[in-house]
Structure 1
Amino acid sequence: MENFQSFDRLSLNQATTQRWNLREAVDGCARAEIPWIGLWRDKIAEIGLKESSKLVRDVGLKVSGIIKGGMFPSASVGEWQRIIDENRRAIEETAELGANALVMVGGGLPNKDLDYARKQFKEGIAELVPFAQTHGVKLGIEPLHPMFAADRSVVVTLAQANEIAKSYHPNDVGVVIDVYHVWWDPDLYNQISYTGEHIIGFHVSDWLIPTPDMLKGRGMMGDGIIEIRRIRKAVDAAGYTGPIEVEIFNQQLWDQPGDEVLEVVKKRFLEHV
């Protein structure tokens, strides 16, 4: 039986309350009785890994994901190695925090060779899987909207993410589905079904019309045109039962008190997710 009136799977992605540091976000989730949190590595770095882990565990929060790893495309061998080393540190952080997955983003173009950049991403995943396995960490490939292909991710469709993830066991590599990035895809529902047990993360927000800003223009669920509930049902039907992260980049939200934002998040989660 589907249950759309529960907060059991609700996760606050820290991007939604950008001005809060990690301590404030953890305390905010505790006050709002939100059971999950998605952590950003820059927020972890501000107070250190051990203190971050202690804060999360002390209030009983579960970590849905760590953002972010990946970003492999590089213009030199030295840069490639630096990125691989940084991803290894991200894997260690993910293990320490007991997170569901490390979210892997494709990275932009260091030059105009799109095919080579995508090849580098595949090679980066292959390079890291053995290290991630030894730490019990899943790598979650998140395709981004094509408008981000040049500077943020050369992986822009679920089909591309599946092509890579399906080469591995779902305990090692999976796919993170973000409605903001995939809603437009004419093959979306076929791909969700095909992803199946490789779905290891699900993020929600909304697409506003007009879109006020390419990066910081996401909307609160229900304020835009995405069929969020339909996509959630498809993701559930594919077998995913894990946390659902609310990830909203929006300056107007960031300017509001965090506790007020969380109250709206909870209301819209029940209504639209």
Structure 2
Amino acid sequence: MFSCLSPGALGLTLDHTDAVDLASSLGFGGVDPDPSYFSSLPSRQAVVEHGDAVREKGLRWGIAGLPIGLDAPAEEFRQALAQLPDALDLLTAAGVSAVGTWIRPMHEDRDHRENWRLHVGRLALVAELLADSGLRLGLEYIGPKTFWSTERFPFIHGIREARELIAETGAGNVGLILDSYHWYTAGESAEDLAGLTDADVVSVDINDARDDRERDEQMDLDRRLPFATGVIDLDGFMGAVRDAGYTGPVKVEPFMKELAEQPIAQVLTDIRERTDRAIGAV
């Protein structure tokens, strides 16, 4: 495992080159890629050289966002699917090895069975294109009841169904994005992570929850820094991740706007120390 700087997940706005430099100077093991920055470079070769420069700083890539919505309207999905190979080419040029997205855990009109069929079919298509580019796909389930209960038909919001969905696609390059917040709000324990392997996990996010709310009252975008409250059993969560033999990125994802009001080096040093503690590097 390695600590990964993900400015967006922290609620920070950083130029990509600044994020790379800060990740290197403050002791992170990696940094999230920025496809928009790759697109701004003058050539594919320039993207290759940028990826080489990042690795020369001792950094590894985290995951990029999948530029296609799995539950998007049909025409929008078709257009995004047609554009996907070009986007993936820039990622592979930079040396990125994985992308990720989340499963919307409810729908107002589409019932569970219909939504399941839609996701299986679309995931199979997307996974095939990613496999052609040598890329993995991480899927994140969303746990808070305050979110998945807001529309008529709840959908996948726990690890069991997420794994069943992945298995049904038959794709060997699709795995999980494990997030301690969603794991906690889904009412899961370390036992639910037992049996996972490195091949099953694409990325890991860590955070804590508010200590003045019950589990089913927690809001998706109102989180706390890892180890801040102790509501989430991060030791148990990360122990299960270690038992899986996981080797990929671990990032902090609290979406806290107040972090942007503090000195950047101070914030990121604290984030790196919390991540190292979770990984077991300190």
Instruction: Give the Cα–Cα distance (whole angstroms) in 2 for the partners of residues 90 and 12 of structure 1.
Output: 22
Q: Which residue of 1 aligns with 2:204?
A: 202
Instruction: Give the Cα–Cα distance (whole angstroms) in 2 for the partners of residues 255 and 114 of structure 1.
Output: 42
Question: Taking structure 1 as the reference length, what is the TM-score of the superposition?
Answer: 0.81
Local SS of the residue matching 1:155: coil
Instruction: Give the Cα–Cα distance (whole angstroms) in 2 for the partners of residues 195 and 243 of structure 1.
Output: 16
Q: Which residue of 1 aligns with 2:102?
A: 105
Report the Cα offset of residue 210 of structure 1: 4.0
Q: Which residue of 1 aligns with 2:119?
A: 121
The residue identity in structure 2 corresponding to 1:269 is: T
When structure 1 is superposed on structure 2, of 223-232 and 142-151 the one drifting more is: 142-151
The residue identity in structure 2 corresponding to 1:101 is: A
* 1:29 equivalent in alignment to 2:26: no
Local SS of the residue matching 2:31: strand
The residue identity in structure 1 corresponding to 2:2 is: R
Once the two structures are superposed, residues 134-192 of structure 1 have per-residue CA deviations (whole angstroms, 9 ceiling, x without a partner) of: 100011111122444469x9532111221122346785111110111112334443331
Instruction: Give the Cα–Cα distance (whole angstroms) in 2 for the partners of residues 194 and 58 of structure 1.
Output: 37
Instruction: Give the Cα–Cα distance (whole angstroms) in 1 for the partners of residues 251 and 42 of structure 2.
Output: 23
Report the Cα offset of residue 49 of structure 1: 8.5
Shift in CA distance, 181/81, structure 1 to aligned 2, threshold 3 Å: same
Once the two structures are superposed, residues 36-56 of structure 1 have per-residue CA deviations (whole angstroms, 9 ceiling, x without a partner) of: 112354565566885666445
Larger Rg: 2
Shift in CA distance, 170/81, structure 1 to aligned 2, threshold 3 Å: closer
Shift in CA distance, 271/198, structure 1 to aligned 2, threshold 3 Å: closer
When structure 1 is superposed on structure 2, of 31-40 and 111-120 the one drifting more is: 111-120
Contact preservation (8 Å) 1:175, 1:195: no
Instruction: Give the Cα–Cα distance (whole angstroms) in 2 for the partners of residues 217 and 52 of structure 1.
Output: 36
The residue identity in structure 1 corresponding to 2:52 is: R
Question: Taking structure 2 as the reference length, what is the TM-score of the superposition?
Answer: 0.79
Q: Which residue of 2 aligns with 1:239?
A: 245
Once the two structures are superposed, residues 199-238 of structure 1 have per-residue CA deviations (whole angstroms, 9 ceiling, x without a partner) of: 1211112112347994542211111311112101101112
When structure 1 is superposed on structure 2, of 217-226 and 43-52 the one drifting more is: 43-52
Local SS of the residue matching 1:249: coil
Instruction: Give the Cα–Cα distance (whole angstroms) in 2 for the partners of residues 45 and 108 of structure 1.
Output: 31
Contact preservation (8 Å) 1:68, 1:105: no
Q: Across the two proteins, how many residue pairs are aligned to each other?
A: 264
Report the Cα offset of residue 193 of structure 1: 1.7
Q: Which residue of 1 aligns with 2:167?
A: 166
Once the two structures are superposed, residues 54-91 of structure 1 have per-residue CA deviations (whole angstroms, 9 ceiling, x without a partner) of: 4453142211211245522134x312313433554553
Q: Which residue of 2 aligns with 1:12?
A: 5
Alignment of 1:1-273 (within 5 A): 9-15=2-8, 16=10, 18-39=12-33, 41=35, 54-60=49-55, 61-69=59-67, 71-75=69-73, 77-85=74-82, 87-107=84-104, 111-115=108-112, 116-146=114-144, 147-149=146-148, 154-167=155-168, 171-196=172-197, 197-210=199-212, 214-224=219-229, 225-273=231-279
Contact preservation (8 Å) 1:215, 1:249: no
Shift in CA distance, 200/94, structure 1 to aligned 2, threshold 3 Å: same
Shift in CA distance, 248/44, structure 1 to aligned 2, threshold 3 Å: farther
When structure 1 is superposed on structure 2, of 54-63 and 83-92 the one drifting more is: 83-92
Shift in CA distance, 200/111, structure 1 to aligned 2, threshold 3 Å: same
Once the two structures are superposed, residues 95-131 of structure 1 have per-residue CA deviations (whole angstroms, 9 ceiling, x without a partner) of: 2332242112224766421423333222211111221
Local SS of the residue matching 1:123: helix
When structure 1 is superposed on structure 2, of 55-64 and 176-185 the one drifting more is: 55-64
Contact preservation (8 Å) 1:64, 1:243: yes
Shift in CA distance, 107/127, structure 1 to aligned 2, threshold 3 Å: same
Instruction: Give the Cα–Cα distance (whole angstroms) in 1 for the partners of residues 119 and 2 of structure 2.
Output: 30
Report the Cα offset of residue 19 of structure 1: 1.3
